[in-house]
Amino acid sequence: MTGRDLPTIWVLGDQLARDHGALAGYEPGECRVLLIESDALVRGSRWHRQRLHVVLSAMRHFAAELRDEGFEVDERRAESFATGLAAHRAQYSPSRVVAARPFSIDAHERLAAMDVDLVDHDFFLTEADQFAEWAGARKSLRMEDFYRWQRRRLDVLMDGEDPAGGAWNFDHDNRERPPKDGRAWPTLTRFALDDIDRAVLADLDESGAPTWGDDPDGLWPVTRAQALVRLGDFIDRGLAPFGPHEDAMLAAEWKLAHSVLSSALNLGLLHPEEVVRAAEAAYRDGDAPINSVEGFVRQIIGWREYVWSLYWYRGAAYREENQLAATRPVPPAFTGDAPTQMRCVEITVEGLRERAYGHHIQRLMVLGNLALTAGVEPWGMSEWMRVTFIDGAEWVMVPNVIGMALHADGGRMATKPYAAGGAYMNRMSDYCAGCRFDPKKRTGDDACPFTSLYWDFLARNEQALSGNHRMGQQLAGMRRLADLDETRVRAAEVLERLSAGEL
């Protein structure tokens, strides 16, 4: 082929894989590779600085690796994807432009409108038609049912027709309270920043993008080689102790034994197949117990694939769900624009500032729980989390926030709201020690905001929740409260101070 006969393979910033997506099967000389950094996207939101850096640095490292392999790469910064693509076409006149189907609904529509040939990809283990066939005529889509179907279909942790270890679910072994023995937790390899990393940070400064948060310090992988090191760290040191305390929270330990692989997975630097097979091999080799391995595998082929599939199955309208009519903005205590006296929120947000990360229970039961009981608007919360967390993406946040954390879909994803008072926080963390608020109190100036808001949430949503059989006991308990009116007065004060950044 001559240069102008070559097709262009447009690699998007969350599809950085040599052997998956649109680039799979091509060799140098058979195509030209395009990567576009959109200035409008960079400036369009208040991103966490590390969130932007990990994407842009990973893109630039990937481009460099492709050049080293012999590919012709057109790496562009442009005002938008549309202007970047137009400039590429004007310069190279490619025979066609091919991209793997984008991971967001809007991006899919935009690329299709740009006359880009969109091809199917294998970045996930579940295709849309497979999920639709599984969903079929089911009245409810339960993740547990999906997960067991996945185990059988993919032959993961199966002994013939039976689940490895004799059970599908080892949650009863994986909900231990936070340990108080001061144990050491698995360490992570850090990656030295290089010239590409430093250039990205300089460009962010020059762009005037309204970023927040600390600069990267080598925590997050930006190449496949680094991602494989991180995977090895977890399999060798983190997988075995992962399970028992996967729902615990400790003030002095930000990740416990969590894998922190999600950003590498969501950029395409790791593939879910290799991750679950590595975990299964550790179990088969006797290096990790079944409860830890099963709990981790559940996160990958169960929850992650379920969330991905639901995002596309529900479609664009799912983003607009707001069954509880929540309207409050994301609190300034979350965004770092105001201090907070709530120690659990303070610790979680400080972790966000330092690392753009919080593990799944911090997301669900600290940030999500407070947003739910305070009545934070679902789409606003989803968008804030998308641009704040290192692994943020619309397909990740829409089901997790709108469906799971904020119960905005009326229970189509989660069978009950994940609302809890301070007792949960006191049981599953050490955050309450030293906090000025008392998790046992629902009234008074020192009452825990979570506790006051929990009962107020039940009261103001009583009608909407009354048909949920899993909420009967909680609603009955709320109706028996002799001080419900006083509790709701306290909750109103909490809401006012939360919105004002004074709590």
Q: What's the pLDDT at 149?
A: 98
> Are residue 46 and residue 174 in the same domain, yes or no?
no
- The SS3 of residue 44 is coil
> Are residue 141 and residue 276 in the same domain, yes or no?
yes
Query: Shortest CA distance to 398 belongs to which of 307, 322, 335, 299?
Result: 307
> Are residue 415 and residue 289 in the same domain, yes or no?
no
Span 309-317, mean pLDDT? Answer: 97
pLDDT at residue 2 is higher than 60: no
> Are residue 483 and residue 392 in the same domain, yes or no?
yes
Q: What's the pLDDT at 3?
A: 55
Q: What's the pLDDT at 432?
A: 97
The answer to whether 376 and 326 are in contact (CB under 8 A) is: yes
pLDDT at residue 141 is higher than 90: yes
Written as six digits, the tokens of 279 are 């975990």
Q: What's the pLDDT at 48?
A: 98
pLDDT at residue 20 is higher than 80: yes
CATH number of the domain that residue 453 is part of: 1.10.579.10
Query: Shortest CA distance to 299 belongs to which of 135, 147, 131?
Result: 147
pLDDT at residue 236 is higher than 60: yes
Domain count, the chain: 3
> Are residue 180 and residue 95 in the same domain, yes or no?
no
CATH number of the domain that residue 51 is part of: 3.40.50.620
The answer to whether 283 and 249 are in contact (CB under 8 A) is: no
Q: What's the pLDDT at 4?
A: 62
216 occurs within a structural domain = no
Residue 208 buriedness (CB in 10 A; 0-12 / 13-18 / 19+) = exposed
210 occurs within a structural domain = no
Q: How far is CA 484 from the centre of its chain?
A: 36
pLDDT at residue 5 is higher than 90: no
- Looking at 66, 94, 119, the residue that finishes a domain is 119
pLDDT at residue 221 is higher than 60: yes
Q: What's the pLDDT at 139?
A: 87
Q: 368-399: per-residue pLDDT in tens?
A: 999 999 999 999 999 999 999 999 999 999 99
CATH number of the domain that residue 167 is part of: 1.25.40.80
> Are residue 334 and residue 431 in the same domain, yes or no?
yes
> Are residue 298 and residue 333 in the same domain, yes or no?
no
440 occurs within a structural domain = yes
Residue 77 buriedness (CB in 10 A; 0-12 / 13-18 / 19+) = middle
What is the distance between the alpha carbons of residues 464 and 410, in angstroms, rounded to a whole number? 8
> Are residue 307 and residue 327 in the same domain, yes or no?
no
- Looking at 282, 314, 346, the residue that finishes a domain is 314
Written as six digits, the tokens of 481 are 């409260």
Q: 74-125: per-residue pLDDT in tens?
A: 999 999 999 999 999 999 999 999 999 999 999 999 999 999 999 999 999 9
Q: What's the pLDDT at 242?
A: 97
Question: What does DSSP assign to residue 251?
Answer: T
CA dihedral 58, 59, 63, 66 (to 10 degrees): 60
What is the distance between the alpha carbons of residues 242 and 113, in angstroms, rounded to a whole number? 45
How high is the mean pLDDT of the chain? Answer: 97
Share of the chain above pLDDT 90, in %: 97
213 occurs within a structural domain = no
> Are residue 268 and residue 364 in the same domain, yes or no?
no
> Are residue 112 and residue 84 in the same domain, yes or no?
yes
- Looking at 119, 151, 169, the residue that finishes a domain is 119
212 occurs within a structural domain = no
Span 270-293, mean pLDDT? Answer: 98
Secondary structure element (H or E) that encloses residue 259, with its range: none
Domain hosting 38: range is 3-119
> Are residue 18 and residue 102 in the same domain, yes or no?
yes
pLDDT at residue 1 is higher than 90: no
What is the distance between the alpha carbons of residues 165 and 171, in angstroms, rounded to a whole number? 13
214 occurs within a structural domain = no
> Are residue 134 and residue 189 in the same domain, yes or no?
yes
- Whether pTM > 0.85 for this model: the answer is yes
Q: Residues 6 or more apart from 427 whose CB is under 8 A from it?
A: 177
351 occurs within a structural domain = yes
Question: What does DSSP assign to residue 102?
Answer: P
Reported for 24-31, long-range contacts at CB under 8 A and 24+ positions apart, including other chains, are 24/122, 28/69, 28/70, 28/71, 28/72, 29/1, 29/70, 30/1, 30/6, 31/6, 31/7, 31/71, 31/98
Q: 50-70: per-residue pLDDT in tens?
A: 999 999 999 999 999 999 999
102 occurs within a structural domain = yes
Which residue(s) pair with 10 in the sheet? 34, 99
pLDDT at residue 414 is higher than 70: yes
